[in-house]
Structure 1
Amino acid sequence: MPAPHRLPPPKGVDSQGLLVREGSLGLVPAAFRPVVDAARERLPRVFGERLDSAYLYGSIPRGTARVGRSDLDLLVALRDGPRAADRAAADSLGDALDREFPAVDGVGTLLYGRARLLSEAETHDLGWFVACLCTPLLGEDLAERLPRPRPDSLLARETNGDLALLLPRWRARIAAADDRPKARRPLVRFMSRHLVRTAFTLVMPRWGGWTSDLAEMAEVFGAYYPERADAIRRAAVLGYEPAGDPGTLASYVDDLGPWLAGEYARVHGVKTPRED
């Protein structure tokens, strides 16, 4: 199928077609600088000499965060693999930052060992994530040791080719969730964003570029799959403004998610299994 004429030209790549890094500390909005500064100050105290490097990702370093609506996303690379105590310490730090700084609506921290981030197996998944979607905050920038990939089918497969494996976990999380709308909203936001990003990377190689804007992701996808365009556009809206509707969650795991997982496997294949 040829690319539709109404699509915007691809962006997020350089003249050689390689993905470029998005975000920078200079783009952090003024309202979020205090919480970013606090994270930079406290992370070394939490992890000590085991801290290798730390990064921001998401809307805050892209300069698109909304006060009181956006969360602070952190990735921490440790000198060895993370332990259970590290997860507890990261959660405690996130809870404290969330309480103290009303500009953010939650704090999430990804923890990985340095060796895994630099491993060949993660080149087109976590390695790409660090090299292109993470903004250095502390320590050595591991992106200098990582290649910048192209927005091709290999990248698509290794980033989001595991949706079929995730859906049973999503069903379990939905079943275990508190029945109040307030408790379901985080699930709607998380699953909406994941589905939109998966839908976008399904067509990313055809478009030939990258964007992290959910609305733009939905529009690019919809140009290639008009029969599913409205569902992904709605998911993009809920990714920013989630509502705790149980019907939305049911549609994700019973209809949209299974269809997307099947089409993804047909077009790009299934993500290479990881040891963990």
Structure 2
Amino acid sequence: MSTPVAQLFDLHGRNALVTGGSRGLGLQIAEALGEAGARIFLTSRKAGDLEEAAAHLKAKGIAAQWIAADASQPDEVQRVAAEAMQRLGAIDILVNNAGATWGAPTEEHPLEAWDKVMNLNVRSVFLMSQAIGRLSMIPRRYGRIINVASIAGLSGSSAAMKFIAYGTSKGAVVNFTRTLAGEWGPHGITVNALAPGMFPSRMTKDTLQAVGVDRIAAAAPLGRIGDDDDLKGAAVLFASQAGKHITGQILAIDGGVSAIHHSA
């Protein structure tokens, strides 16, 4: 007997931890999960941003809590995981969204900047998944992990886009997603990734200004960049029972950019 579709996407009774959830894509995903009924636990580095984000969610009737922490630091990750478990009892959905970028030609790219990007974009995904998997998901034989990758992790880039560390890190997130999905599937845990194209955010502000929104949009078959709604449906799909038979998948949300680049 089939389940009504509204019930498949319903997240009432579920708890979601969203890293980098105080703004941008992380907040958009948190909002989507909360609107579907999940209780939200946000973390990022800045308490002020988190307080503002939680107030935004609460104004929409979403239960939201937060804790400030640096997701690239092992001790901080353990603190977040322990606090989330203490406050909520369990974490059903983990969204690994915290990330950083750095623009520089490869031959001049500072090692410290490489390490910063890799630590936040890759190491934090491993650390947070490991902590939440061990404390909550594996013991309960249930979990939904959603990693935020990028279409920059699906292919190389032109000479104009100088982000060697970012592109490399997102490629790592893509294969981390596939590998963990295979390992943790027997525990009842799905692991998938969203791969956004260009969305307006603090991280992309300089690129959008330098290249131009119209020029970037023109490169997409749909003729636009992402907006405040474009990740919401996919995030709820991966987080809910509607996506229970989907794991190890990378979903590009990019207006078709990756489709034409892959076929070229």
Q: Shorter-chain TM-score category?
A: 0.3 to 0.5
Greater fraction helix: 1
Larger strand percent: 2
Tell me the TM-score normalised to structure 2 length: 0.35
Structure whose CA Rg is larger: 1
